Chain A
């Protein structure tokens, strides 16, 4: 088990390194001359050269990358072009906000998705199953800003039950913060529900088909007991992995939802940084997302190992 987890950790680190290369290549190499893009097309060439020298971008690419990555490893994520201050405080505050929103969506969608998937599996092939599967999958492919617009029009503009903006303002009470986060959470829930339900359904169908399910039924256990004690814990194993992978989709969705609802999270931060061509902020934001994503995947691996006796006992071959 330890070797398995170490291997996963190694893979996560390699992926993170690859992400740093992609980010570096995309944002430091592709856009061309940073000095020119900051100062604009009318600036004097000497001023551009001076700024390039000050930013260190006139050095060879390899040494630029090494400087950048060493800075990152020492916790120095760079200086924002827009604010001329270190980016860490911005990233930190935004991350806390995003975790609040993401956690709310997860707490609602995980039980809901599992319930939907199990219900569909118990009625496999019938109307309930088709409705949950098709509706779930359709909801999953509707972009978050589209469902976001629909919920704003219905619940905020027409019914006036909930606020349009997700920003509760300085020093707002937890209750008020929660109220502001309900609407933004809905699009995230809609996107995630289909995937989780689909995995739970597939796992449950497999479990229903198994020998141990038949044995449990034949020895006279009630259907509800068979489902609860024998099927669920086997059926939900793959679902856990999917839930962790969904963190990636959730983060992609945060960029959109936080922009739509004007919420100061990491997604909105990345979006604003991209608009303002504030590359250090953008790079730091994207890498932070990468780290969060890797951590979520690792937690899923650990959970999967702990819950699966075959892996837990070290019999992973």
Chain B
């Protein structure tokens, strides 16, 4: 039972591992230093998002108009912004919006993409041809631009961003799941299932899906990195979370204009927060991919 005593971040991973009986490979993942480093940073930000009220030293919305543009000091470790708000508190609280929007968008894209990929791969024929062409056409467009015009058209709100980013990722995930399903459909257990008279939905979701789950998991973590990239970028462009809600991208957008004046702390710290989050997710993804590939 020692292998179950894993770090808390790995809870999800262990749960999958028990089901698919690939405990050894997941233990290999947990032993990689890159995975542990990435997971530690990720857990740190999740804790910040969950308990920002208790952790943040100040109210992230409280303006101190007599103490604007203060450089980092003992009272304000990360300084204050143009409205005298504590930058450290805003960085801590700013983890919340991105850690809600990006995973939900990725989840939406993964669920939709998996369903479409299963249909394309298993049913084949006309469905596969038509959807493949559509997927190819969507993939041929600069995705950020597509997401951008839809958010502009629909107006910025967290729900719109989740749906648009999820929608943009769906074809990418569908394509990956489709090729994984094609490999599976050559195998004997599927002919047996068909001979036993199982219905197509049951074969797709009960027989095939558990076997392509590792692929879906990797796809989810990879896309999560891109989702954070995209959501943060939309925020920076002003089409994401709206002020005064603390948000890393929006805070950078609000303050980068005063960079030339030397007020670097109000943009640099949120920027480093975004960088640490995407790099953490990358380290986790890379470790999982390395282990699955070996």
Interface residues of A (CB under 8 A from B): 11-12, 14-15, 18-19, 22-23, 26-27, 30-31, 133-134, 137-138, 141-147, 149-150, 152-153, 156-158, 164-165, 248-249, 251-253, 255-256, 259-260, 270-271, 274-275, 282, 286, 289-290, 293-294, 297
User: Complex formed: what's the CA distance from A275 to B233 in Å?
Assistant: 15
User: Complex formed: what's the CA distance from A157 to B282 in Å?
Assistant: 29
What would 13 A/B residue contacts be, using CB atoms closer than 8 Å?
A22-B141, A27-B152, A134-B34, A143-B232, A143-B233, A145-B249, A146-B232, A147-B275, A252-B144, A255-B237, A256-B236, A274-B152, A274-B237
Q: Interface majority SS on B: helix, strand, loop or mixed?
A: helix
Q: Mark contacts of B148-176 with chain A using CB atoms, 8 A cut-off: 1 yes-contact digit, 0 otherwise.
A: 11101110000000000000000000000
Docked-complex contact A143 and B229, CB < 8 angstroms: yes
Q: Which residues of A sit under 8 angstroms from B137, Cβ to Cβ?
A: 14-15, 18
Q: Which residues of B sit under 8 angstroms from A18, Cβ to Cβ?
A: 137-138, 141
Q: Interface majority SS on A: helix, strand, loop or mixed?
A: helix
Docked-complex contact A157 and B262, CB < 8 angstroms: yes
| Least CB separation from A17: chain B residue | B137
Docked-complex contact A141 and B268, CB < 8 angstroms: no
Determine whether B286 belongs to the interface, using a CB cutoff of 8 Å to chain A: yes
Determine whether B281 belongs to the interface, using a CB cutoff of 8 Å to chain A: yes
User: Complex formed: what's the CA distance from A144 to B143 in Å?
Assistant: 15
* A-B interface contact total, Cβ < 8 Å: 141
Docked-complex contact A149 and B267, CB < 8 angstroms: yes
Determine whether B77 belongs to the interface, using a CB cutoff of 8 Å to chain A: no
Given A157-B262, A282-B152: A134 in contact with B286 (beta carbons within 8 A) = yes
Determine whether B56 belongs to the interface, using a CB cutoff of 8 Å to chain A: no
Kindly provide the distance from the CB of A146 to the nearest chain B CB, expressed in whole angstroms.
Answer: 5
Kindly provide the distance from the CB of A226 to the nearest chain B CB, expressed in whole angstroms.
Answer: 26
| Least CB separation from B149: chain A residue | A26
Docked-complex contact B256 and A260, CB < 8 angstroms: yes
Docked-complex contact A252 and B236, CB < 8 angstroms: no
Interface residues of B (CB under 8 A from A): 34, 136-138, 140-146, 148-150, 152-154, 225-226, 228-229, 232-233, 236-239, 249, 252, 256, 259-260, 262, 264, 267-268, 271-272, 274-275, 278-279, 281-283, 286
- 16 additional A-B pairs beyond A143-B249, A293-B142, beta carbons within 8 Å, are A31-B153, A138-B282, A141-B278, A142-B274, A143-B229, A145-B232, A145-B249, A145-B252, A150-B268, A157-B260, A248-B143, A252-B144, A255-B144, A275-B238, A290-B141, A294-B140
Docked-complex contact A149 and B279, CB < 8 angstroms: no
| Least CB separation from B257: chain A residue | A262
Given A146-B232, A259-B237, A286-B149: A153 in contact with B268 (beta carbons within 8 A) = yes
Q: Which residues of B sit under 8 angstroms from A282, Cβ to Cβ?
A: 149, 152
Kindly provide the distance from the CB of B143 to the nearest chain A CB, expressed in whole angstroms.
Answer: 7
Q: Which residues of B sit under 8 angstroms from A14, Cβ to Cβ?
A: 137
Given A157-B264, A255-B144: A137 in contact with B259 (beta carbons within 8 A) = no
Q: Which residues of A sit under 8 angstroms from B279, Cβ to Cβ?
A: 138, 141-142
Which of B34, B143, B237, B268 has the most A CB atoms < 10 Å from its CB? Answer: B237
User: Complex formed: what's the CA distance from A294 to B152 in Å?
Assistant: 24
Q: Which residues of A sit under 8 angstroms from B141, Cβ to Cβ?
A: 15, 18-19, 22, 248, 290, 293
